[in-house]
Amino acid sequence: MGLKIGILALQGDYHKHGQAVTKLGYEPVFVKDNQTLNQCDKLIIPGGESTTFLYLIDKLELRPALLEFGREKAIMGTCAGLITLAAEVKQSPYKTLGLIDIKVYRNAYGRQIDSFVDTVELYFNDTPISFEGVFIRAPKIESCAHGIKKLGFHKNDTVVAANENILVTTFHPELTDDLRVHQYFIEKIGL
Amino acid sequence: MLNKEFLLKIGLAEMLKGGVIMDVTNSEQAKIAEDAGAVAVMALERIPADIRADGGVARMSNPKMIKEIQSVVSIPVMAKCRIGHFAEAQVLQTLGVDFIDESEVLTPADESNHIWKHDFKVPFVCGCRDIGEALRRIAEGAALIRTKGEAGSGNIVEAVRHMRAVQGEIRRIQTLASAELTSYAKNIGAPVELVQYVKENGKLPVLNFSAGGIATPADASLMMQLGAETNFVGSGIFKSQDPAARAKAIVMATTNFNDPDMVAKASEGLGDAMPGLEMSSIPEEEMLHKRGW
């Protein structure tokens, strides 16, 4: 399986995603331009600051290529990556990519002092699994449009959502040693 | 495995990686920083160049000003407390500051002891000049290290010296035999467990950012190529002729630090950089990086 997994490397914890991809036996490719993006089979938009991502996406003229990529191939976004991919974001000064029809609140739990680690339940198949969710200044998915799959929950909140090509998490699977979210993305999304 | 609280602290540092953190003194500057793609702002009353010029005791910023900045930006807001001044740190934590910088830029409150940072839920960043200082701060609970450089100087020479010192010692530790680690740890004044971590992993246990002297896009690129994982820029932006343009250019050069064409493009048409100081013109007792140990 020589899949090349692109990781948007404008800013943020892209090396952590790279480590997860490598551990799963795939090749991580750090993406900063259109040419590199087009060599990838799938893409991960990491955690970081969504305002910085969106500023740089336009400044580096990556937006058209990212939109095209997301219509044809799979993209995963974690935390700031989720915000970047969402259709509607409260308190975002920039236009997001709108590749998944969800409505998002940024920093919905509060400031860093309100960041937390707690167990989330994931429904990747018939048997739910427990996963350690690392929530850092995390967003909340306020609502999902019709047809969006809700794949993970923390208390009453949806923390993982997906459509055919796009998988998003409000927490950071890349900050744990548990590779099951990355594995699910690479092996099951966008096929 | 890390305990959960520390995982959250270094997790936030991870989110800041590859970006630029900018010193700001009011909400207008904070907005300029956010619009330029800053990953966080450092709220302080006077930027280091002015602290240097004004003299007197430099303290934690006024909470009112920190709150104003928190209300206008969505990115993390950091603030500085004096070295050893844990009561200032308690105030900053209560204000909901996202990261506390226990900083040599302010006048030290304790000449012997830094803050015991494990007592706090909010993460701390601390300055260092060498590996021993870095590991002492990490032992006290710092979740992020920045090399000190010389704040408010507009001169990159100290930032380079400190970054090279840290990176060079990391390489050296990896060549040590296990039997040599204890004596090495004794000589640099750091816990042997942390020295062992560096030997096994080839890096510090937390991220290492650069600070103190970045004034141009090429300075930002230089520090990233020397091993910085993010750049703090203080006086370099708001002491320059066109702060908004310079802020954007330094963000662009930090992201594309290994692409000289992009750094060149970012360096065009920025107006004048801050004038900067020759190190020999700064009296020994006014060297900020000599504060803390």
Closest-CA distance, A147 to chain B, in angstroms, reads 30
Rounded CA separation A152/A8 (Å)? 24
Rounded CA separation B18/B16 (Å)? 7
Instruction: List the structure tokens of A87.
Output: 């259709």
pLDDT attached to residue B1 = 46
Optimal mutation site among A15, A52, A84, A106, interface B, most CBs of chain B within 10 A: A52
Q: Which amino acid is at A57?
A: I
Say if the Cβ atoms of A52 and B38 lie within 8 Å.
yes
Unique residue bearing structure tokens 């090396």: A15
Smallest Cβ–Cβ distance between B255 and the set A10, A111, A116 belongs to A10
**pLDDT averaged over every residue in chain B:** 95
Say if the Cβ atoms of B17 and A56 lie within 8 Å.
no
CATH of residue A24:
3.40.50.880
CB proximity list for B183: less than 8 A, separation 6 or greater: none
Contact list, A112 vs chain B (CB under 8 Å): 8, 12, 76, 96-99, 122-123
Say if the Cβ atoms of B93 and A55 lie within 8 Å.
no
Smallest Cβ–Cβ distance between A134 and the set B11, B16, B76 belongs to B11
DSSP for B250-263? HHHHHHTTT-HHHH
H-helix or E-strand containing A88? strand A86-90
pLDDT attached to residue B275 = 84
Closest-CA distance, A163 to chain B, in angstroms, reads 26
Unique residue bearing structure tokens 């954007």: B248
ipTM score for this prediction? 0.95
Q: What total number of domains does chain A contain?
A: 1
pLDDT attached to residue B271 = 87
Unique residue bearing structure tokens 């890349």: A174
**CB of B223 less than 8 A from some CB of A:** no
Contact list, A52 vs chain B (CB under 8 Å): 19, 37-39, 75, 251
Residues A128-185 pLDDT 10s: 999 999 999 999 999 999 999 999 999 999 999 999 999 999 999 999 999 999 999 9
Task: Give the torsion through C-alpha atoms of A130, A135, A139, A144, to 10 deg.
Answer: 0
Active site residues of B: 80
**pLDDT averaged over every residue in chain A:** 96
Name the residue range of residue A13's domain. Answer: 4-188
Four-residue CA torsion sign, B119, B125, B127, B132: positive
Say if the Cβ atoms of A112 and B74 lie within 8 Å.
no
- For residue A33, pLDDT over 60 is answered with yes
Active site residues of A: 79, 172, 174
